[in-house]
Amino acid sequence: MKSSNYKLGELFILFVLFPISLVLDYAIWIKFILGILGFVYVVFILIRVEKSSLKIRKDINWKLFWQRTLVKLMLITVLTTAFVWFTDKENLFLVVRTKPLFWVFILFIYSLFSVYPQEVLYRTFFFQRYESLFADNRLFLFVNAIVFSLGHLFFKNTLVLVITFLGGLLFALTFKKTRSTFLVSLEHAIYGCWLFTVGMGEMLGFPS
């Protein structure tokens, strides 16, 4: 399992072939089962083979993390608010204004059951498993962002692919610096929750 060829094949099946297959027209229950089996495989390899721990690190530099994250959030806030204002003004903060309890509920469910599994898969597992295969660190981060974007291909929306590619770069850089699943999940949740809040949730698959 430690051979480079095996890992490359694994990367292609898990992060390229399967996401592309979700665009094809076959039974949703088959897609669901394949997704569950794939994630179980990832967790097994991560814990039993790679000997990784998902525990929260004790040496986290919280001050630096919040400084970087809040600066990026301010930029994202300005850009996305302007985007919704000019393209779909009626949806600007719509869920917050009309369904505040539903808004809180969805943020909780999204952060716990969507963001965290994504970061275990795309950052913790991907870095632990494949980083050694790339001599060029910039290429590795680029590939990580590409496959993260491919994971959202089933939305069939070009803007979603662009947003998730850019998000993938941000999350890859954060994980590269911190090596913390918890921190990158927190950052991912903050940006994702904001997109839902500002009115871009429907495009990204949030219920509305």
> Is the pLDDT assigned to residue 51 strictly greater than 90?
no
pLDDT of 195: 96
Q: Are 149 and 19 in contact (CB under 8 A)?
A: no
> Is the pLDDT assigned to residue 1 strictly greater than 60?
no
User: How much is the average pLDDT of 157-181?
Assistant: 96
pLDDT of 146: 98
pLDDT of 105: 95
CA distance 15 to 130: 12
CA distance 23 to 38: 17
User: How much is the average pLDDT of 67-89?
Assistant: 96
pLDDT of 109: 95
pLDDT of 2: 60
* 97 HSE (CA, 13 A, CB side): 7
pLDDT band at 63 (very low <50, low <70, confident <90, very high): very high
User: How much is the average pLDDT of 186-199?
Assistant: 96
pLDDT of 3: 86
Q: Are 177 and 171 in contact (CB under 8 A)?
A: no
User: How much is the average pLDDT of 164-188?
Assistant: 96
User: How much is the average pLDDT of 100-111?
Assistant: 95
pLDDT band at 31 (very low <50, low <70, confident <90, very high): very high
- How many helices and strands (H and E) does the chain possess? 11, 0
Of the candidates 194, 198, 204, 199, which has an alpha carbon nearest to the alpha carbon of residue 72?
194
> Is the pLDDT assigned to residue 140 strictly greater than 70?
yes
User: How much is the average pLDDT of 93-110?
Assistant: 95
> Is the pLDDT assigned to residue 46 strictly greater than 90?
yes
Q: Are 14 and 38 in contact (CB under 8 A)?
A: yes
pLDDT of 53: 78
User: How much is the average pLDDT of 164-191?
Assistant: 96
pLDDT of 54: 79
